[in-house]
Amino acid sequence: MRTDELVAALAAGAEPVDRRAPLRRMLLAAGVGLALAAALMLALLGPNPELGRAEMPPMFWVKLCFAGAVAAAGVLAAARMGRPGARLGGAAWLAGAPFAVLWLLALLALLAAAPEQRMPAVMGSTWQACPVNIALLSVPAFAAALWAMRGLAPTRLRLAGAVAGLLAGALAALAYSLHCPEMTAPFIGLWYVLGMLVPTALGAAIGPRLLRW
Amino acid sequence: MKPSPDAREAQLRELMLAAQDGDAAAYGGFLRQLTPFLRAYFRRRLQNRPDDVEDLLQETLIAVHNSRHTYDPSQPVGAWLHAIARYKMVDLLRAQAGREALHDPLDEDSAALFTDAEPAAAEARRDLRVLLARLPDRQRLPIEYVKIEGLSVAEAAQRTGLSEPAVKIGVHRGLKALAALIRRQR
């Protein structure tokens, strides 16, 4: 086919497109991913029995806010990575800020704690299960975020895959925090973050192959 | 005077925004204006493979079409297009590098290059002798003298005792007959 014929054929197919499609698609994927992560959590782990019975400690809300803020920044960042030539820019700072706040809280808590209480604050009683469970719960959200990304046009595939993975990890952490009994900032700052890094690293690893277009 | 890059950017942006709203005429104009820039861009970068330029150009136009929902008006349209063109070019080069790696068997050692050449040529000469021997003299001798030994038609005519036209016809028919023999052998 000659190039001018191709141009004519493409121009004939000029239907209106939705400029907000990247964000909309990513929001849809995040909604589906969060719902599936919550369903998995309820089916496999069950909610925290304290939930709704007692007043939740402030650290419970910190946990929710941390995961929610990373997820929100992840949606923005992923939508941006789906646009050719766009930079992460502010979205990277937005995603980094919750980590900075959490680690600051963890540092303050460790400094305030008596030396013999520091290790228990970091390790809690569920450190072995936490990262594995978050990684597990992130599977449906990971698939949803990659699906959304595939409908866009990422040009930096490794970074796009990593951002999609981080979004999935944050959604999984959000669902997992409704099960998790741990209420210390050092625990969350280490094990939650590790769990979220699993899908992030996986996304960076398979992004170049899965997101090609 | 050629329009400045800024003016071009503004014009392309306007056409793109109209195209996103479904304006087919603006979209056609956008693609037509874009085409020479993309062609020049790829030509500069693929100087040693000019055959790929037009394919890559078409591939990129299709990519622009399929991802036109990802253009954000707050972004320069030039940056958006450049990212797509670059992505498609890198993708092509990577795919070709992968294919060429398949063509080039890595387990074969480089000495094979030198050991192969001589026997192959010798075999070809031997095969030609065998096939030539099956031709009648009035075809075989003209081919041997003119095509293999490199004599002129007049010299070959003198040696064979044939007329010059007969030598020419002999070469012609003999080569045809040889070609037929080779085809049959395969």
Asked if B87 and A155 come within 8 Å (Cβ–Cβ), the reply is yes
Which residues in chain B are closer than 8 Å to A3, comparing Cβ atoms?
A: 35, 54, 57-58, 61
* pLDDT higher than threshold 50 for residue B5: yes
Q: How many domains does chain A have?
A: 1
B49 close contact with A: CB closer than 8 A: no
A-chain residues within 8 Å CB-CB of B28?
Answer: 7-8, 11, 14
B164 CA to centre of own chain:
41
d(CA A10, CA B19): 11
For A115-125, the pLDDT digits (tens) are 999 998 899 88
**What range does the domain containing A71 cover?**
19-210
Note whether residue A2 is domain-resident: no
Query: Is residue B48 classed as helix, strand or coil in its secondary structure?
Result: coil
Question: Does pLDDT of A167 surpass 90?
Answer: yes
Q: Does residue A13 lie in a domain region?
A: no
- The pLDDT value given to residue A99: 97
- Across the interface, of A1, A14, A19, the residue whose CB is closest to B27 is A14
User: Are A81 and A149 within 8 A, CB to CB?
Assistant: yes
ipTM of the complex: 0.86
B134-151 confidence digits (pLDDT tens): 888 888 888 888 888 788
> What gap in Å lies between CA A74 and CA A91, rounded to an integer?
8
Task: State whether residue B126 sits within 8 Å of chain A by CB.
Answer: no
What confidence tens digit (pLDDT) does each residue in B61-86 have?
999 999 999 999 888 999 999 999 99
- Computed over its alpha carbons, how large is the radius of gyration of chain A? 20
In this prediction, residue B101 carries a pLDDT of 66
* Token couple for A60: 């419970």
Please check whether residue A3 touches B, CB under 8 A. Answer: yes
Three-state DSSP class for residue A182: coil
Quote the minimal CA–CA distance from B49 to chain A in Å: 18
- Crossing angle of helices A58-81/A130-150, nearest 10°? 30
Q: Does B74 touch chain A (CB under 8 A)?
A: no
The domains of chain B are located at 5-103, 112-185
Residue A200 pLDDT greater than 50, yes or no:
yes
- Does B172 contact chain A (CB < 8 Å)? no
A9 in a structural domain: no
Q: Is A1 part of a structural domain of the chain?
A: no
Confirm whether B5-103 and B112-185 share one CATH topology. Answer: no
* Mean pLDDT in residue range B42-64: 89
Residue among A41, A191, A197 nearest A102 (CA): A191
Is residue A7 assigned to a domain? no
- Do B32 and A14 count as a contact with CB atoms less than 8 A apart? no
The whole-number pLDDT of residue B102 equals 63
State residue B112's pLDDT score.
Answer: 47
What pLDDT digit, counting tens, does each position of A43-87 carry? 999 998 888 777 888 899 999 999 999 999 999 999 999 999 888
Q: Do B28 and A11 touch (CB under 8 A)?
A: yes
Query: Which residues from B are below 8 Å from A207, CB to CB?
Result: none
What fold does the segment set B112-185 form as a domain? Answer: Arc Repressor Mutant, subunit A (1.10.10)
Contact list, B79 vs chain A (CB under 8 Å): 85
* DSSP, res B107: T
- CA B174: distance to chain centroid? 33
Quote the Cα angle for B9-B11-B16, to 5°: 90
Concatenate the DSSP letters of all residues of A11-26 into one string: HHT-----TTHHHHHH
Contact B28 A17 (CB under 8 A): no
pLDDT for res B125: 64
Mean pLDDT of B113-121: 51
Q: In this complex, do B28 and A8 lie within 8 Å of one another by their Cβ atoms?
A: yes
Q: Quick check: helix, strand or coil at residue A201?
A: helix
> Which stretch of DSSP H or E encloses residue A117?
helix A115-123
Does residue A55 or residue B90 have the better pLDDT? Answer: B90
Q: What is the CATH number of domain B5-103?
A: 1.10.1740.10
What per-residue confidence (pLDDT) applies to B116? 47
Mean pLDDT of all residues belonging to chain B:
82
What confidence tier does A209 reach under pLDDT thresholds 50, 70, 90? very high
Contact A102, A70 (CB under 8 A): no
pLDDT at B2: 58
Mind giving me the DSSP string for A29-81?
Answer: HHHHHHHHHHHHHHHHT---TTTTTSPPPHHHHHHHHHHHHHHHHHHHHHHHH
Residue A2 has a pLDDT of 85
Q: Do A6 and B61 touch (CB under 8 A)?
A: yes
Chain A residues within 8 A of B75 when measuring between CB atoms: 83, 85-86
Chain A interface includes B91 (CB < 8 A): yes
Q: Is A209 on the interface with B (CB under 8 A)?
A: no
* Residue in chain A lying closest to B72 (CA): A19
> Tokens representing B80?
């958006």
What is the per-residue pLDDT across A130-156, written as a single tens digit (0 to 9) for each? Answer: 999 999 999 999 999 999 999 999 999
pLDDT of residue B123: 60
Q: What is the mean pLDDT of residues B35-62?
A: 90
Q: In chain A, helix, strand, coil percent, each to 5?
A: 75, 0, 25
pLDDT exceeds cutoff 60 at B114: no
